[in-house]
Chains A and B, each alone.
Chain A
Amino acid sequence: MKSKISLLFFLTMIFTSVAVMAMPTNIKISVKTKDAKFLGTSMGGALVILKDADTEETLAKGVTSGGTGNTKLIMNTPLTRGTAITDAKTANFTTTIDIDRPTLVEVTAFGPLSQRQAANRVSATQWVMPGKDITGGDGWILEIPGFVVDIQAPSNHIKLTGAQDVQIQANLTMM
């Protein structure tokens, strides 16, 4: 009888410890720009922060890096369900979080970091289950709006003498 109680206690302890054990969960975040491609190294990337949406505890943070993606596939190809628009070289931030229960994760992206006047912030939430990766297909994509407008002339705050026509020169690109 005593040995049965000990066995029951032992099994209970095992199942309990498994239930509360944090599970590493992989998440791939990519930031797609509105009407264009992915925000990566060429634009300084986007700052990505993953938080527990309930407690606001930061779970991970990093900057997307990599290429802007396959132009033909992203911009010129009609897509059907299940078709990935990212590949191994497409900019992303991939991380592993340790969670011990289903967690409502909030992901925030801010960028482009090399053109701060063009930077916007977007966020989304999703339930993440312990050990259930979000890396399949395109992973988790956020879309960020904006054009990059970069005034190149005149120099900011320049002092000019006398009335004159001042030429404004700007560089305009997609993100």
Chain B
Amino acid sequence: MPGGMWNSDKFEVKGLVSFNGAPVGEIDMNYSGKPSQFSGTVKADKKGVYQVTVYTYDSENGNTGLDCVSFIIN
């Protein structure tokens, strides 16, 4: 969390968005008020398959981590 022992203000937390398999941009993932919780919004305005890869990067030591999710707009 921001200001904590592991100060998330120093971490880059973003979502990489792809649509039907092609990268279309990224979103910011912001601290959402509860410890360890981050959120962001994808404007899903087309029918198809979206995939979001949320990653964290600490530039001070190179540490990284990620998770992926996909959803479908009909």
Other-chain contact of A166, B38, B62, B71 (Cβ < 8 Å) = B71
Size band of the A side of the interface? 35 or more
Docked pose: A1 CA to B39 CA in angstroms: 90
B8, B45, B54: most-surrounded residue (chain A CB, <10 A): B54
Docked pose: A149 CA to B54 CA in angstroms: 7
Interface flag for A81 (CB, 8 Å): no
Other-chain contact of B37, A36, A118, A145, A171 (Cβ < 8 Å) = A171
Closest to A173 in B: B36
Docked pose: A161 CA to B44 CA in angstroms: 10
- Please determine whether A158 and B56 come into contact, CB atoms closer than 8 angstroms: no
- Please determine whether B73 and A170 come into contact, CB atoms closer than 8 angstroms: no
- Please determine whether A117 and B40 come into contact, CB atoms closer than 8 angstroms: no
Interface flag for A5 (CB, 8 Å): no
On whether A172 and B72 interact (CB within 8 A), knowing A34-B63, A149-B56, A151-B54, the answer reads no
Chain A stretch 47-83: residues in CB contact (< 8 A) with chain B: 71, 75
B49 CB to closest chain A CB (Å) equals 9
Return chain B residues, CB-CB under 8 Å to A155.
69, 71
On whether A170 and B74 interact (CB within 8 A), knowing A34-B61, A147-B63, A151-B69, the answer reads no
Interface flag for B9 (CB, 8 Å): no
Docked pose: A13 CA to B58 CA in angstroms: 61
Closest to A163 in B: B45
Other-chain contact of B36, A145, A161, A171 (Cβ < 8 Å) = A171
Interface pairs (23), CB distance under 8 Å: A34-B61, A145-B62, A150-B67, A151-B54, A151-B68, A156-B71, A157-B71, A159-B74, A161-B73, A164-B44, A166-B50, A166-B71, A168-B15, A168-B42, A168-B52, A169-B37, A170-B13, A170-B54, A171-B37, A171-B38, A172-B8, A172-B56, A173-B36
